[in-house]
Amino acid sequence: MEQLLGNNLSFAGTDARSRTPDIPFIPNRQLFVLTCVDPRVDPSDILGLTLGDAIVARNVGGRANRAFLDDLAWITHLHRTLTPDADWFEVVVIHHTDCGSGLMADDRLRGAFVEQGYDDATLRATAVTEPEQTVRADVATILSSTALRSPSLASGYTYDVATGLLTQAVAPRAADGYRVPGSVEALN
């Protein structure tokens, strides 16, 4: 951290903070990104986001687990209660190739961890071995959850750590029961 604290001093001397949103749950790009903790998939770099552009949630695999849904529900609640007329955000789920969470599918590795008191089924369900499949499943989970009863959208992408490219796996869709104004198809 010693060197990075120097970076922080430099940062504090810039005007980056003047471009951050007045309301923290309405980021500049109206994005809520969910992705993996893997340092190779930092959304600031792969999406070119800067300070204040997006809400970012990261966990192992970038999974729409209970903890993520609870956070999303809280932010949705704030938005609905305090700023109901503001534009709504799009939740973007990104799963990636060569994800370390895939090792949770390895019986021996997982077994030794389960012996330490962790839940076998939860670990198995967290593994991302086919990012396109899991990203589709997680976008579906988000869309059907109570966390997103609003005009918010959700979409899904896979990220290839070898090429640096994102590929859309799920086009933006509205939460269940909500129709995007002007859209021709009834989504979901």
Summarize as ranges the residues that interact with Zn ion (CB under 5 A): 36, 38, 99
Decide whether 26 or 38 has the Cβ nearer to Zn ion.
38
Give the strands of the sheet with 153-159, arranged side by side.
54-59, 31-36, 90-96, 153-159, 166-174
Gyration radius of the chain's alpha carbons: 18
Mark out the alpha helices in 107-152 (DSSP H runs): 107-114, 120-126, 131-144
Provide, rounded to whole angstroms, the least separation between the CB of residue 96 and Zn ion.
6
Provide, rounded to whole angstroms, the least separation between the CB of residue 61 and Zn ion.
6
Decide whether 41 or 148 has the Cβ nearer to Zn ion.
41
Provide, rounded to whole angstroms, the least separation between the CB of residue 118 and Zn ion.
18
Task: Assign 20 to helix, strand or coil.
Answer: coil
Residue 57 backbone phi and psi in degrees, to 5: -115, 135
The burial class, CB within 10 Å (0-12 / 13-18 / 19+), for 34 is buried
Contact of 124 with 157, CB cutoff 8 Å: no
Decide whether 135 or 175 has the Cβ nearer to Zn ion.
135
Contact of 150 with 79, CB cutoff 8 Å: yes
Q: Which residues pair with 166 in a beta bridge?
A: 159
Provide, rounded to whole angstroms, the least separation between the CB of residue 38 and Zn ion.
4
Decide whether 34 or 36 has the Cβ nearer to Zn ion.
36
Decide whether 26 or 34 has the Cβ nearer to Zn ion.
34
Provide, rounded to whole angstroms, the least separation between the CB of residue 160 and Zn ion.
12
